C-alpha cells in the first residue's frame, strides 16, 4: 500500500514513480495506491475506488471500477452505482466552457463614465 507516492516530486520523478508502481504489479500481487494526482493515477492504475465521507463521522470506499469510469465518477461528483452525490459541482478541465459560464453569470462588463483632465482641458 502506497500513500501519495508522488507528493513533492517533479514531473519526471512522478512519471518514474508511476512506472515503478506499474513494475510492482504481477499476476499474484496487488498494489494499492492512494493518490491525488490524476495523471499519476491514470498512468499507474487498472482499477479505481473513490473514497468519500466526513472526517470523524463516516467514510465510504466505492466498489472498484475501470479507470475511465472511476475518473468520470470523481469528476462528476456522483456515484451512479450507489446513487450518491458527494460534491455539488462537477469538475471540468474545459476552460472554454468555464469561461462561457462565468460570462453568463456576470453578464457584460460595464464601466462607469469617467472624466480625465489633461493640461487644463476637459476630455471625456
Listing DSSP states for the chain in one string gives -EESTTTT--HHHHHHHHHHHHHH-BTTB---EE---HHHHHHH-SEE--EEEETTTEEEEPPPEEHHHHHHHHHHTEEGGGTEE--SS-----HHHHHHHHHHHH-S-------EEETTEEE-
Please give the model's pTM, rounded to 2 decimal places. Answer: 0.64
Interval 74-89: pLDDT, tens: 999 999 999 999 888 8
Q: Which of 14-18, 19-23, 46-50, 105-109 has the lowest mean pLDDT?
A: 105-109
pLDDT of amino acid 108: 64
- As a whole-number percent, the residues of the chain with pLDDT over 70 amount to 85
Average pLDDT, the chain: 86
Strand partners, 78: 85
| Of 42 and 105, the one with more pLDDT | 42
Domain boundaries, the chain: 2-123
Domain 2-123 coded CATH 3.30.465.10: no
Interval 29-38: pLDDT, tens: 889 999 989 8
Check whether 99 has a pLDDT greater than 80.
no
pLDDT of amino acid 93: 78
Q: Do 9 and 17 contact (CB within 8 A), yes or no?
A: yes
Amino acid at each position: 500500500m502506497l500513500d501519495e507516492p508522488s507528493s513533492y516530486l517533479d514531473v519526471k520523478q512522478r512519471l518514474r514513480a508511476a512506472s515503478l508502481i506499474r513494475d510492482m504489479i504481477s499476476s499474484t500481487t496487488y498494489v494499492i495506491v492512494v493518490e491525488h494526482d490524476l495523471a499519476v493515477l491514470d498512468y499507474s492504475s487498472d482499477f479505481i475506488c473513490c473514497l468519500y465521507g466526513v472526517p470523524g463521522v463516516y467514510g465510504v470506499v466505492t466498489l472498484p471500477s475501470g479507470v475511465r469510469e472511476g475518473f468520470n465518477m470523481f469528476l462528476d461528483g456522483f456515484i451512479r452505482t450507489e446513487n450518491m452525490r458527494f460534491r455539488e459541482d462537477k469538475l471540468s478541465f474545459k476552460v472554454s466552457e468555464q469561461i462561457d459560464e462565468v460570462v453568463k453569470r456576470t453578464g457584460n462588463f460595464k464601466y462607469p463614465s469617467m472624466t480625465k483632465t489633461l493640461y487644463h482641458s476637459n476630455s471625456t
